[in-house]
Structure 1
Amino acid sequence: MTRPLPVLAACAVILTGQPAASAADLETALVERAPVAVLHVAEGVVEAVNSATLAAQVQGRIVDVRADAGDAVKSGQVLMRIDASEANQAVAGAAASVAQAQATYTNAQAQWARNVALRDKGFVSQAVVDQSLAAMRAAEAGLKAARAGRGQAVTVRDFTTIVAPLAGVVAERHAEAGEMAQPGRPLLTLYDPARLRVVAQLPQSVAQGVQGTSLAADIMLSGRDAPLAAEAVMLVPSADPRTHTMEVRASLPATVTGVVPGQFARLVLRVGSAPRLTVPAAAVLRRGEVTAVYVQTEAGFRLRQIRPGQALPDGRIEILAGLNVGDRVALDPVRASLSRQQNASPQ
């Protein structure tokens, strides 16, 4: 019965049609240390930079609902109306008070003018003129107060019409037509989908190391294979006294679609750099669960299993275990496996 090949030896099986190559013909690369970005992964949530929860400012029954969750709205668009019957009566009463105050002021003006003329002719004293002047000024003050009351009544009436303070999307509707609105009760929640960010918490040990530096981060969203580069990253200059963490905010690109507030996200922050062993990505051979390279030795190329780290932007791969500084690896592992000096057993 034939014994099965070891896993690493199976990686060195000669492929049909591949020409054999000597060790001297194969191009190699030196295993060396290079600065590698130190990453910190923080779990966060997507939130809108601009959002608003609209609440009732007057009491009344909701008589008209013009927006629902998911609707796109424009700034100033009417979203909901509250019964304005009582507010309209208040405005009418305030208008009547203004008319009454205006008549009183007009009469006081005329009375003051008559008394001035009579004083000039010697028929009344200066005290009478002063009295009429005081009455005129009191009537003028009463008119201003009445006009202010009318303005207040109009403002309260305007509160019965709920309008969008920003252009965006309705995230949630908290009330239905026919329900009673109370001052402070939430009615609608809006957000601007063009400006979203990921908010996460950093341990103080990590946050203190990046304070005062220019931060960069990648954003990983569920359902997307490729990470997104954050447009801007900001560390909030305050710490939570309960969790001893600091908040970091990473802005999503404006071109991103299909992302909503409350969605889970991961923030991959570059918090510094450190020297790490690296090799070119072309030198790494992957066969199933095995990751290895062909290391050049005096006896030829030997297959050595490695533990890779992160892929680097310059086309190299970080090596966590399996290699040493100064080792040379074959840049074409397939041809290295076909060389007559190959030895597929690990060192």
Structure 2
Amino acid sequence: MKPFLLRSLVLACLLAATGVRAADSLPVVTVAPHAVDLAFPAEAVVEAVQQATVGTQIAGRVLEVHADAGQSVAKGTLLMRIDGREAAEAARAAEAQYAMAKLNYERQRQLKEQKFVSQAAVDKAKADFDAAAANRSAAGASQSHASIVAPMAGIVARRHAEPGDMAMPGAPLFTLYQPGSLRVTASIPQHRLPAMRGVTTARVEFPELGKWVDATTIQLLPTADAATHVSTVRVGLPALPDVVPGMFARVHFVTGQAQKLTVPAAAVVRRGEVAAVYVQAADGRLLLRQLRLGEAVGKGEIEVLAGLASGDKVVVDPVKAAISLKSGK
């Protein structure tokens, strides 16, 4: 016997066995065609609008670490200290060269006033003095780079170095982000772009959290990736305490409306490829009815293509319905 016929036979047996009167306290919803949003989904990733990767501009060993992942920091907070002895010695040498160049320039000016040297000698001493001053400023700045501070207020998303590691210029040390400003980025194929240009509304689904939110902004970037031929869409999010950068999301871009018959997704019972719901008959009995479902629409609803009619009462909680049937109530 084919697997599909076997499943249908099993479901038919279940349907025949569910003629038990149900408890009146079961929560039900009366289904009827209603206006739902037509949308197409796109997988997306949560990212921070304001995020910074902090590194160092000098090479040195990590001596002290003052922050870790998950910690909130204020702007200017000391995050890490790097061994800056080489930078400090370079600053001392630059300071000595500056002092010598300054004395030489002043001496050449005095000699010029006494007509012992030419103007060219004074100009040369002035150029050496300016170069030494610039070198001193650069060396002083390099010395200050041994202290790594937070460039903005936010949360430490990741720490990339441990005490004793060798920090190199260009290598990341910390990643920070501001939790109050998050968005999701989705990739849209080229054949969807004409419809996307008229989209002004979208809903963002977080499957792992079981949460839906309305998008605050929708921005279609004007370029496409040359390798994948997709365009990036940035969708703004409201403040969400449970959402963090890197989390998976699904964006539903609304393109219009239509009348459809739907049931809550939580009411659907799935057994392999078979989908069904508990329907409460007029006499109070519970019947398990097989459905042919379409796409997810609205907020937590699924379109019903066949199996239900307008006015049917569907039990919202299938677990309670099953318990009620098992107990014979």
Note the alpha carbon deviations across 1:216-272, whole angstroms, 9 max, x for none.
211112443330111112122222232222212212212x102211111111111x2
1:76 CA displacement: 1.3
The residue that corresponds to 1:112 in the other structure is 112
Out of 250, 253, 256, the position equivalent to 1:273 is 256
- What is the TM-score of this pair, normalised by structure 1? 0.68
Dislocated runs of 4+, deviation >4 Å: 4-11, 13-17, 290-294, 304-313, 316-319, 329-333
Out of 218, 226, 229, the position equivalent to 2:214 is 229
Kindly tell me: are residues 86 and 9 of structure 1, through their superposed partners in 2, closer, same or farther at Cα, counting changes over 3 Å?
closer
Give the number of the structure whose alpha-carbon radius of gyration is greater. 1
Kindly tell me: are residues 175 and 6 of structure 1, through their superposed partners in 2, closer, same or farther at Cα, counting changes over 3 Å?
closer
Q: Does the CA-based 8 Å contact 1:71-1:170 persist in structure 2?
A: yes
1:103 CA displacement: 0.8
CA distance in 2 between counterparts of 1:141 and 1:151 reads 16
Q: Does the CA-based 8 Å contact 2:280-2:313 persist in structure 1?
A: no
Out of 229, 232, 239, the position equivalent to 1:247 is 232
The unaligned stretches of length 5 or more in structure 2 are 1-11, 25-30, 270-275, 282-288, 315-329
Q: Would you say how many aligned residue pairs link Structure 1 and Structure 2?
A: 281
Give yes or no for the alignment of 1:197 onto 2:180: no
Q: Which amino acid aligns with 2:148?
A: I
1:7 CA displacement: 4.4
The residue that corresponds to 2:273 in the other structure is none
Kindly tell me: are residues 332 and 97 of structure 1, through their superposed partners in 2, closer, same or farther at Cα, counting changes over 3 Å?
closer
The residue that corresponds to 2:196 in the other structure is 210
The residue that corresponds to 1:261 in the other structure is 245
The residue that corresponds to 2:160 in the other structure is 174
1:204 CA displacement: 1.5
Q: Does the CA-based 8 Å contact 1:72-1:169 persist in structure 2?
A: yes
SS at match of 2:114: helix
Kindly report which structure 2 residues correspond to 1:36-75, keeping only aligned pairs within 5 A, or say none: 36-75=36-75
Kindly tell me: are residues 311 and 97 of structure 1, through their superposed partners in 2, closer, same or farther at Cα, counting changes over 3 Å?
closer
- What is the TM-score of this pair, normalised by structure 2? 0.72
> Taking every aligned residue pair, what percent have the same amino acid on both sides?
38
CA distance in 1 between counterparts of 2:306 and 2:75 reads 58
Across the aligned residues of Structure 1 and Structure 2, the Cα RMSD in angstroms comes to 3.7
The residue that corresponds to 1:146 in the other structure is 132
Kindly tell me: are residues 39 and 152 of structure 1, through their superposed partners in 2, closer, same or farther at Cα, counting changes over 3 Å?
same
1:183 CA displacement: 2.0
The unaligned stretches of length 5 or more in structure 1 are 18-28, 116-127, 295-303, 334-347
Q: Does the CA-based 8 Å contact 1:38-1:274 persist in structure 2?
A: yes
SS at match of 1:227: strand
Q: Does the CA-based 8 Å contact 2:38-2:258 persist in structure 1?
A: no
Note the alpha carbon deviations across 1:22-63, whole angstroms, 9 max, x for none.
xxxxxxx9x88x865321112221111222222232111111
1:140 CA displacement: 1.5
Note the alpha carbon deviations across 1:186-227, whole angstroms, 9 max, x for none.
21111121111112212211123222x343211112443330
Give yes or no for the alignment of 1:187 onto 2:173: yes
